[in-house]
Amino acid sequence: MSNALKERIARGEIVTAAWIDTGSPEVCEIVVNAGWDVVVIDCEHGAAPLEDGLSLIRAVQAAGGEAVLRVPDGSDTTLKRALDRGARSILVPMVNSVEQAKSIVYSCLYPPRGGRGYAAPIVRASHYGRWTDYAKQAHDDLLLMVQCEHVDAVAHVAEIGAIDGIDMVFVGPNDLSGSLGLLEQLDHPDLLKCKEEVERAGRESGVKLGTILGGGRNYSQIRDAGYSFIVGPADVGLLYDAARAARIEMADDLDLVADAGGTTRDY
């Protein structure tokens, strides 16, 4: 058994992904079939609670894609359930310190490397016992990413990324801007300075970095800044934009006015 996404990132490949926020297995299948072979299932801000999000992994895999699960928090119980149910690539939000990062790793790895609770023979992750060496090999199969999305984390990126068991530091610029008192000001010099500090730490220490599309940079610019995992469009935005464009096209064709809420009225 091997985590293909982890291998791609380790080889230095630039991996792009889409968000799944609706919690819909059909949307997961549509997005993968449209060519997004990696999707991030968002159980922090998305509609799906953890258990539903874990079920979405099946839809992604059945369609031929790789799933990353953003868990709602980094608690021991949350991580244990996510791993047991078969999440192989995990994104943990709001990791602000080295101590917190170490605690997350401890929860994710079996003894003696960590303290993950044991139920290997009965869980989906081991194919319900068919993978007999799962407990010995699970740490090699896991892609563990932690999010730097608070100013407190910026100075510790290199140290966090060097922790054995952590594969990537993922920058969340929106919450990072909020922690600076600059929410949604993604072009503010103070936020850009923080991002540059993270990117410099990544270059100098060899820490793998991920982030989202935006902030005035396209995919190639983000790649050139040192990121190897870039998460772009979300299903909600794709659906809204397509629905809105279709509504405007209809209104134009019928000489109607489409207001911002999507309703139409005569001139």
Supply the residues annotated as catalytic: 45
Q: Which residues pair with 66 in a beta bridge?
A: 38
d(CA 170, CA 222): 13
Phi, psi of 18 (to 5 degrees): -120, 155
Residue 265 tokens read as: 């009225």
Token pair recorded at residue 65 = 């894609």
CA 80, CA 77: separation in Å to the nearest integer? 5
Residue 75 CA to residue 103 CA, distance in Å, equals 9
| CA atoms of 127 and 84, how far apart (whole Å) | 10
Categorise residue 209: left if φ over 0, alpha if ψ from -120 to 50, beta otherwise.
Answer: beta
Structure tokens at 22: 């609706």
Beta-carbon contacts of residue 237 (< 8 Å; ≥ 6 apart): none
